[in-house]
Amino acid sequence: MADHKLRVSVGELVEFVYKSGDIRAVFLSASRAVDGIKAHQRIQQRFSEQYQEFEAEVAINCEIANAELMILVNGRTDGIIKDYNTPIICEIKSAAQIKDIEENYSQLHWAQAKIYAYMYARQNNLNEIMVHLTYVQLGSYDIKQFERSFTYRELEEFMDATLTVYLQFARLLLAYNNAKAASIKELQFPFSNYRKGQKQLVSSVYRVIMTGDKLFARAPTGIGKTMGTLFPAIKALDQRPRKIFYLTAKTIGRDVAEKALNLLARKGLVLKRIIITAKDKICLNDERKCDSAYCAYAKGHFDRINDALTALITATDHYSRDVIIDYAERFQVCPHELSLDLSLYCDCIICDYNYAFDPSAILRRYFSEGAARLHPDSSYIFLIDEAHNLVDRARSMYSAVLSKKAILELKKKVKQIDQTLYGYLNDMNKFLIRKRHECAETNQLTEDAYAEEFVDLIWGFIHRLEKIYAQLAEGEQADQLLEFYFECYDFVKRIDLYDERYVTIYQKNADEVTMKIFCIDPSANLKMYLTNAEAAVLFSATLTPINYFVQILGGDDQSYGLTLTSPFDSRNLCLLVNNGISTKYLDRPQSYQKVVETVYQTVKGKTGNYLVFFPSYQYLEAVYQRWVADKPGIEVMKQGRGISESEKEEFLAAFKVGTEQTLVAFVVLGGMFGEGIDLVGEKLSGAVIVGVGLPAICLERDIIRGYFDQSSNNGFQYAYLYPGMNKVMQAAGRVIRTASDVGIVVLIDRRFGHSNYRELFPPEWSQAVYESSVKLLADKIKCFWLNSRS
């Protein structure tokens, strides 16, 4: 039976009905969002001292029925004063300047306050109620307050008028919700059988979603991780409303999730899903300036956005980048803002990690204190794809760097523009000059705390630029100032996270010196952001060892770990280890010819396509030159530095089925060909992996090593061994992609024979054969191919 109830928050309702006009430059909004929360709290505290009966953050709900449907409106007002015979609804709004704000400054603000007043009056059978709309100035916390009295009848008429505008859109949402709910109830697993291990994955994912826990799952290639996580998450929507965030590190992960959802849609699922594309990649202008003065899509955007949303929700349930651009052009609205608004009405959002974990990019409409007020009943599920990538991505997201060179250049340019800005930049430059002197002997300096005096200068620069930027917006230095503003703001956002898991690194290079706040251990920050989700599933084919990933990715003793075995026949993979060659850095020149011979004997066993992975471009180039000189009869390619996405596709296009000539492709381990590519069947016959993949020794890796040696005596493993072996396992995973694939993997390094490396081998590598003789390896390869054909 169809449900006639539709939930909407007060924030969603008033923004849909009353928001209008242009998109204005909002480059200052990120800092103001934080300051705005502090301002709210400061005024709420002031009211609690001023009034005996003041209650802050009051949840209010009401049900409003008409002939067609019942709308459940919910929200949380900033406060209620009950000191007087007539209660007062308090709404607080922050602003950079309040002197020019008049009573009718914002129809939207009054609408929000009036709806809260209506809901409270209705709930408490009041004939009259007061509203205080308070504007607070950021920094000084001065206030300007406007007061109005409303009868219940006036508020009821206002609410009726508001809902009348919203009703057409509400009908669409209700029809969709009913169709979605019916389709989820009927939805069956889209394949006739579960793959080996897949049903266990599905059951485990569903269980942790229902119990609100975290699951860390090692699910080898072939189990069907994407469907194995999406299907149970969607089935869990049948129990109560939730929103699924499918978080990926790479485009391939997004594409696979999109295909899985499209398959479920063909099986009858009704589910709105959207792909969030970065603003720079979806902008319709050659130069991105998010202001109506420069952009036709920003001018009048809010006057047209509802028509665009209504059209999209009517037209389709699948919102890809191309679909969003198409409708943005039709309705002349900003495609990025359209995608964010549209996501509010979607049940599955596919996006990059940074939208859930990066302090500078997080989707604030979902994951902020303000969002909790706008969407008080919202609940989120995180499905985190290829979670092994999140470790280094998190370290990067929670670290930040500033350069003396950039400060010096900007200082020279602003000297004639604003003496205050110049002063802040000059003092920053002087500070870094002092640090450059301190780095003189070793070219680097590490400290366990950040420099408060430098951070004070950054804040001074930020606040000064915010105050005068409108006067500078047309100047030739405006873009450079804006870029540096963002760098500064990113820096201070990370300072907010700075604790014993951070260090500050100064590095000198000639006259240049950089200052970096480096996140050694991202686990606490990830754990904090994971609390935005009711449940989280982190999965990868190479989440090994599982205990390490549970710890470093923000898990705890209550988190579940799941290790599944490969569904493929182990006889389809020939895994050989040449443990007679050392590929350590100092031994590499002596290894070149031995590597050439091992690769040659590997590819000689069967005509086909082969990938050879090297730990660096330098090593790759040295072996490539030997190969060209010694093996001229075999086609060879090599990965160039910094190749584009189109060049990558051209490179992969050379891997053809049914080739009559062997192709050997030299690539870099841990690069774009090490994961996220599918060369199925005859497109790839084998892979040779040279070295154990350890990251290059550097200051940051040694800091990580020292930190974890001190805390748990496993610094080498955390800094070098586990990241390196993860790259090896990912590269080896390119060979067997389906149940019918047959292939060979050869590992070259003496260290693969050591127990601390072998212990990290996945169960499906238990049949590995160790052989230091290239001739004996060649015999085993020949035997494998003969047996695989029989």
- pLDDT tens-digit readout, 78-96: 999 998 889 999 999 888 7
E strand or H helix at 614? strand 609-614
Q: At what angle do helices 251-266 and 225-236 cross, to 10 degrees?
A: 60
pLDDT for position 138: 79
Pick the residue with more confidence: 519 or 677? Answer: 519
Furthest-apart CA atoms within the chain: distance in Å:
96
Q: What is the mean pLDDT of residues 775-789?
A: 90
Quick check: 427 pLDDT over 80? yes
* Count of residues in the chain: 790
pLDDT for position 37: 77
Residue given tokens 């109005």 in the structure block:
148
pLDDT for position 555: 94
Q: What is the mean pLDDT of residues 281-308?
A: 85
pLDDT for position 430: 96
CA dist 20 and 246 (Å) reads 31
Q: What is the mean pLDDT of residues 546-571?
A: 93
Residue given tokens 């040659």 in the structure block:
600
SS3 148: strand
Helical spans, DSSP H, in 631-773: 645-653, 699-712, 715-716, 722-732, 755-758
CA–centroid distance for 482 within its chain: 24
Q: What is the mean pLDDT of residues 314-331?
A: 96
CA dist 451 and 367 (Å) reads 29
Pick the residue with more confidence: 644 or 382? Answer: 382
pLDDT for position 89: 92
pLDDT for position 1: 38
SS3 418: coil
Q: At what angle do helices 478-495 and 452-472 cross, to 10 degrees?
A: 150
Rounded-to-10 torsion of CA 73, 74, 78, 79: 90
CB 690 within 8 A of CB 614: yes
Angle made by CA atoms 415, 419, 425, in degrees to the nearest 5? 70
pLDDT for position 367: 87
pLDDT for position 557: 87
Quick check: 479 pLDDT over 50? yes
Rounded-to-10 torsion of CA 597, 601, 602, 604: 130
Helical spans, DSSP H, in 496-587: 523-530, 546-552
Instruction: Kindly indicate the confidence band of residue 246, based on its pLDDT and cuts at 50, 70 and 90.
Output: very high
- Region of 268 on the Ramachandran plot (φ > 0 left; ψ -120 to 50 alpha; else beta): left
CB 682 within 8 A of CB 608: yes
Quote the DSSP letter at residue 96: S
pLDDT for position 32: 56
Q: How many CB atoms lie within 10 A of CB 388?
A: 25
Quick check: 577 pLDDT over 50? yes
Quick check: 160 pLDDT over 70? yes
Direct distance between the N- and C-terminal alpha carbons of the chain, in angstroms, rounded to an integer: 58
CA–centroid distance for 491 within its chain: 19
Angle made by CA atoms 92, 94, 96, in degrees to the nearest 5? 160
State both tokens at 271. Answer: 């589910």
CA dist 696 and 699 (Å) reads 10
Distances (CA, A) of 300 to 112, 137, 331: 22, 27, 10
CB 619 within 8 A of CB 690: yes
Q: What is the mean pLDDT of residues 655-667?
A: 92
CB 232 within 8 A of CB 205: yes
pLDDT for position 370: 59
Distances (CA, A) of 255 to 247, 377, 534, 777: 12, 30, 25, 38
CA–centroid distance for 632 within its chain: 45
pLDDT for position 27: 47
Q: What is the mean pLDDT of residues 647-652?
A: 94
Q: What is the mean pLDDT of residues 182-201?
A: 95
CB 722 within 8 A of CB 545: yes
Phi, psi for residue 673 in degrees, rounded to 5: -100, 0
Nearest residue to 599 (alpha-carbon basis) of 570, 571, 623:
623
Quick check: 455 pLDDT over 80? yes
Phi, psi for residue 254 in degrees, rounded to 5: -60, -45
Q: What is the mean pLDDT of residues 355-360?
A: 94
CB 588 within 8 A of CB 622: yes
| Strands, sheet with 318-319, edge to edge from the N-terminal-most edge strand | 318-319, 273-275, 348-352, 243-248, 380-384, 535-540, 214-218, 560-563
Quick check: 452 pLDDT over 70? yes
Distances (CA, A) of 338 to 168, 281, 295, 342, 586: 19, 14, 15, 6, 55
pLDDT for position 395: 97
Instruction: Kindly indicate the confidence band of residue 67, based on its pLDDT and cuts at 50, 70 and 90.
Output: low
CB 47 within 8 A of CB 90: yes
Q: Which residues contact residue 77 at a Cβ distance below 8 angstroms, ignoring those fewer than 6 apart?
A: 57, 58, 60, 89, 90, 91, 113, 116, 120
Quick check: 310 pLDDT over 90? yes
CA dist 155 and 15 (Å) reads 18
CB 63 within 8 A of CB 123: no
Phi, psi for residue 147 in degrees, rounded to 5: -125, 135
- pLDDT tens-digit readout, 510-519: 999 999 999 9
**Peptide bond connecting 545 to the previous residue in cis, omega within 30 degrees of 0:** yes
pLDDT for position 148: 93
- Residue 175, CA atoms < 13 Å, CB-side half-sphere: 10
- pLDDT tens-digit readout, 684-716: 999 999 999 999 999 999 999 999 999 989 999
- Exposed, middle or buried by CB within 10 Å (0-12, 13-18, 19+), for 512? middle
Nearest residue to 469 (alpha-carbon basis) of 478, 461, 460:
478
Quick check: 29 pLDDT over 50? no
Which range among 14-18, 56-60, 477-481 shows the weakest confidence by mean pLDDT?
A: 477-481
Helical spans, DSSP H, in 566-643: 588-604, 617-630
pLDDT for position 3: 67
CA–centroid distance for 543 within its chain: 18
Which range among 90-99, 538-547, 633-642 shows the weakest confidence by mean pLDDT?
A: 90-99
CA dist 288 and 24 (Å) reads 13
CA dist 358 and 394 (Å) reads 8
Nearest residue to 638 (alpha-carbon basis) of 607, 661, 659, 616:
616
Helical spans, DSSP H, in 83-197: 107-123, 152-186
Quick check: 30 pLDDT over 50? no
- Residue 208, CA atoms < 13 Å, CB-side half-sphere: 25
Quick check: 28 pLDDT over 60? no
Q: Which residues pair with 509 in a beta bridge?
A: 512
Q: Mean pLDDT of all residues in the chain? A: 91
Instruction: Kindly indicate the confidence band of residue 372, based on its pLDDT and cuts at 50, 70 and 90.
Output: low
Quick check: 604 pLDDT over 80? yes
Pick the residue with more confidence: 53 or 35? Answer: 53
